Each structure stands twice: as structure tokens, then as C-alpha cells.
Chains A and B, each alone.
Chain A
Amino acid sequence: MKRIYVNEKWCLGCHLCEYECAFANSGLDKMFKLKGRMGELVTPRIKVEGEDKGEIHFAVNCRHCTGSICVQSCIAGALSKTDDGMVVIDKNKCVGCFTCVLVCPFGAIMPSPDGKAAQKCMLCTDNVKGEPNCVKYCPNNAIVYEER
């Protein structure tokens, strides 16, 4: 399965991926309309780790683990794995217990802004972009989408 991989060697810590992610999942047609709405309308499903002036940065989003602990821990059956290995969430089934948020070793699942369900990266298959927007706009190829 094609996955998103990060290469901390090339990550600049510019945080563009977070904004591109938020935009992709916001349903807005222009990015500037995100102005003042981050956190309220949408939150990114990718997060850049590392301090601003620090030496190391890298972007973290769902790793789509084999034997995904989030899927195993979901009490509502909202999280599942597709045939090709992507971990997906069905928001209609999610009861908002956030056990998955607790168990995810990468901190890659988080409550959605309305607080009613969890959200996670689904490789932009759940929005109009169709392919990972963070990868597309990473200025330094620090995030790649490939088969390994």
C-alpha cells in the first residue's frame, strides 16, 4: 500500500503541511478563507513535531499501522481497515469515546473541532483533493507518498 513517509532530514519545520491539510479537509474553495477559522472549522490531521528553532522537525500523521491498535480499541466499530491497509474512520459510527486518541502511539488521531467524533488522516481520499495535499505542497520533498 502507498503510504505517507516523512524524512526528517529534509523537513524545514515550515508547517505548510498542516495548513495544506486543514485546507484540504475544510471544504473551502480558497485557502485564505481559513483565516481565523483554524481550530473552529477545521484542525490539521498532520502535525509537525519539533521546536521552531530546534534542529529536528518532522511531520506526523497516521502511519496506517499493521495490526492497528486504534482499530482494535474502537468500541463502536467506527475505525476499520480497508482491504489495501488504510485505516479509515466512519464518523457516523464514532461515539466520541476517544479511546483511539489515547492508544495511538503517534498521536495521529485527534478529536475533530466539534468534539463529537475523532478524526484522522485518510490520505485525502475523504476530500476533494483525492491525493495527499501535504505531500503535494511540501516544498522540500520531506513528506512523500510511495510504496515501500
Chain B
Amino acid sequence: MDTYIPAEYEVVRNPDLCIACRVCERQCANEVHSYDKDLGKMIADSGKCVNCHRCVCLCPTHALKIVKSDDTYRLNSNWSVQTMNEVYRQANSGGVLLSSMGNPNDYPVYFNKILVNASQVTNPPIDPLREPMETQVFLGKKDVEIKRDMEGKLVDTLPPQLKLKYPIMFSAMSYGSISYNAHESLARAAEELGIYYNTGEGGLHKDFYKYSKNTIVQVASGRFGVHEDYLSAAAAIEIKMGQGAKPGIGGHLPGMKISDDVSQTRMIPKGVDAISPAPHHDIYSIEDLRQLIYSLKEATAYTKPIIVKVAAVHNVAAIASGIARSGADIIAIDGFRGGTGAAPTRIRDNVGIPIELALAQVDERLRQEGIRDNVSVVVAGSIHSSADVVKAIALGADACYIGTAALLALGCHLCRSCHLGKCNWGIATQRADLVRRLNPDIGYKRLVNLVTAWGHEIQEMMGGMGINSIEALRGNRLMLRGVGLNESELRILGIHHAGESM
């Protein structure tokens, strides 16, 4: 704690309701609450509170709330409280500021400025409860040649595909950044849902090979945990070139999160910081990328699609075009709102572009160049709801990755303190007593519920548009209209303003 910085949040306890059961005290890894024997009541040290709401949720008498402190510096429209505090923190530590989860700042969320169409009178809506409504998608290259054998029968030349029951996958979150139980929840949910989860760059724990049919394994610049069995176990392999929360830089897993198990899975020493370099040291061009893609394909006998994940940056369309020509089967684009277990604050809050704009431009460029079918496009970076999924698909995506939403389903309250390793919800921690708080039996069910619910909503929205399959929605930008967007934004998104017809 920096003595220059007053508590941002205040723990408020209703003394009439508190029965001093001390659940809050036992559940707070930040040691905010304690029982004062002299006073005979519970007290709280708000300065230590990260506002994760664990105590609020578990308080059996609802005696607690956490409020934004009304303590204030002299009001100043130029120097915000946050900016001042950041200066204090750096003056105290001399270090780079670290943050967790996605960019929380007040940038536009374009999904919220896009509206979806519905059928009226002339083209009837479809009721998904009564008629078939296809949410299944296949990810992979679709550029098949038509080949016939000697007898004139069609030869199957379709490259390997990923089959998803819903156009939703769980984003890459490494074992190390999140806990064993969080990983187990994601893996089991992916299996039950018929979708995929992604190991992130932390390797695949030996216990989770049994979920390998629903596992995407990642090969990132640190190459942590990459070995033959890891690659051959997976349903698909993702090469991580960049991450939306921190484009242009690598990763940094603090040593205290490298437990025995994490160290074994990552194949690195215990307790030592795990640094992934900013670039892949063997990739400095699309040609180099192509070499890695084909190395991985060769290693797995051309049986698995290769995903290349990049952060949404200013010339993402040209980059995607290069990737589409490099032999990749799927491009994943991560927008600037994407989450992270830890990123330098300045990078997270100032680098990258919104996923909606990146997606629209990538889809447009790939179509113009006639190579859209070379790849599937998966988007990530703050997909908040099923409506965002529908809008993303109409803008041209094949599927979406959800990371933050999945963690919320597991209990995350976005306190954005993952980098401290003391997650009270048992998600972003390796401390055994905290990891235990996330029972995968509960966690996986909540994830299944979330995606199933979104699936229903996607069906309802598609039905309303008179569309009965995801295929017919993809890139269907006429189903979208912008509100409150300027000409450039509309042009980039490739959509009309609300009120304009065809």
C-alpha cells in the first residue's frame, strides 16, 4: 500500500445485520475483515479491499456492501484521481504499472451502437422453438478443389475442420494465470457444450488430456509446455502472435504463481518468473509464420487446423491477408478490450483498436482479395452477450471467443487484481486454499448454462431476422444498422445508419 493513496472503496457494514459469523474474515485473502475482541464486533480495513465482492456475496445476513469512497482530492477535470494515483504508485515503486483484465476506460463500445434487424410482414420470422435453427459452425479452410477419382467419384479434399455446436469458444487462458479448477471447469464445459476451450500458452496439465477432443492448444512466443504429445492431443493448434490486452509485448507470469504443477506443465523452473518474449524469435515475416504453421502441420500429419491469433492493431486487415495466405486455417483477432492476467497498464489502456472495426475491415479485405474462404475468422475482446455474438457474425466473423464472460460465469467480479495472485474466487490464483473455492462441479455447470442461454438467445435473434442458420447470418451486414456513428465509422463497419434502408 502506498500511504499517499487513500482507499478507493469503502467496506460498509450494517451493524444491525452483522452477526459476527466471521465468514467475511475467513473468505478475504486480502485480510480486510477482522473480529475485534475488545469491541466485540467485526471491523474492516478498507485500504486493503480490492472490491472483489466475495464477502458481500457470502455474507449470510447481507450486512455488507462496498461503495466507492467519497473521499476526494481537490476536484480537477484535467488530473483524474486515477491518473494522480498512478503517479503516486510509480513514484513509490519506480516500476511499470501492471493491470489485469480488459481495458476499463471510456472508449466507445461499437457493439452498443449497432442495432439488429427483424422481419415484419413480408418475410416471416422463424420461431426457433418450433422450427430447426442451426447454430452449428465449422471452422477451417473451405477452399476445396473439386477432385474426382478414376471412377469419377468425388474425392474429399476438405482440410481439417473444427465443429462447434455454438459459434462460441472459450478464449486462451493459461494454466498458471488461472487455476487448475478454473481450467477443469472450462474443459468440462467445452466437452459438454460441443465447443472448445484454449489452453493458452501455459501447456496442458496431464489431468486434462482426457478433454483433448475439445482442447485448442497454444504455441506462443515462450513455447511453454510445447511437446509432441501436447500438439498431437489437441483438436487444433493456435499460434499466438499477439493478445488484444497487450499488443506488441509478451507475457509475464509472476514467479509466485509458478507452483509445482504449473512448473511441470510449463516445463520451467518453479518460482521463477515466466517471461514470454514480445516476438516469436523465429518469426519476422509472413514467410517465417508459414514455416511455423507448416512445421506444426507436419508434426501433426495435417490432421488439425492451425489458428493464428493476432491483436487488433491499426493495419490488421493487411496482416490478416498475409496470415490467410500463410497456410493458417483460422485467424483469431483479439480486440483492444481483451482480457489478461497481467499487462502493463499503459499498453492495455492505450494500444490496439476496437474489435468491431478490426473485424469489419478484415472481413472486407479478405473478401476483396477473394481469399475469405481460405480462413475462418474468430473474434475476441469483450464479447459481452449473445447480441454481441450475433453482431460479430453479421459483421463477418465465423465464431467468437469469450474469456471475461466465461470468468464472470465462474464468479469473477472484475476486481482486476489477477496479477496479485490472491483471487478470492479461486480463479486467478495458485494458492491451494483459494483454488479450492472454485468447485469445478459448480463452475462447469455455470459455464454450460451461460453458453446454452446465449445459444437460445442467438436462435431467437436469428429467428427474428428470418434466418435459420449461422451460415446465412455470417457477413450479412444488411442486418445491421449503426446509431450515433459518424460517416467514417459507418464506412469502416460497412453498415448503414439506422433509418436508412437498403
Contacts and interface: CB of A to CB of B under 8 A. Distances in A.
A141 B439 contact: yes
B436 A12 contact: yes
A88 B51 CA distance: 45
Interface string A1-31: 0000000011011111011100100000011
B42 to A, nearest CB: 11
B367 interface: no
A31 B60 contact: yes
A34 interface: yes
A7 to B, nearest CB: 9
Interface SS of chain A: loop
A52 interface: yes
Contacts of A15: 21-23, 26
Contacts of B442: 140-141
A104 B26 CA distance: 29
Given A12-B437, A16-B58, A38 B19 contact: yes
A108 B441 CA distance: 28
A106 interface: no
B425 to A, nearest CB: 11
A83 interface: no
A148 interface: no
Interface residues of B, number: 21
B441 A141 contact: yes
B26 A14 contact: yes
Interface residues of A, number: 25
Contacts of A36: 19
Interface in A69-88: none
A28 B61 CA distance: 13
Contacts of B16: 32, 35
A55 B433 CA distance: 7
A142 B442 CA distance: 11
A31 B436 contact: no
Interface string B18-31: 11111100110000
B319 interface: no
A9 B437 CA distance: 10
Interface in B436-485: 436-437, 439, 441-442
A20 B27 CA distance: 17
A13 B21 CA distance: 12
B144 to A, nearest CB: 48
Contacts of B18: 32, 35
A140 B442 CA distance: 7
B437 A140 contact: yes
B23 A10 contact: no
Interface of B: 16-23, 26-27, 58, 60-61, 63, 432-433, 436-437, 439, 441-442
Given A12-B437, A15-B21, 13 more contacts: A10-B439, A12-B436, A13-B26, A16-B23, A19-B23, A31-B60, A32-B19, A34-B19, A35-B16, A35-B20, A36-B19, A38-B19, A141-B441
11 contacts: A10-B439, A12-B436, A15-B26, A19-B19, A19-B23, A31-B60, A32-B19, A34-B19, A35-B20, A55-B432, A55-B433
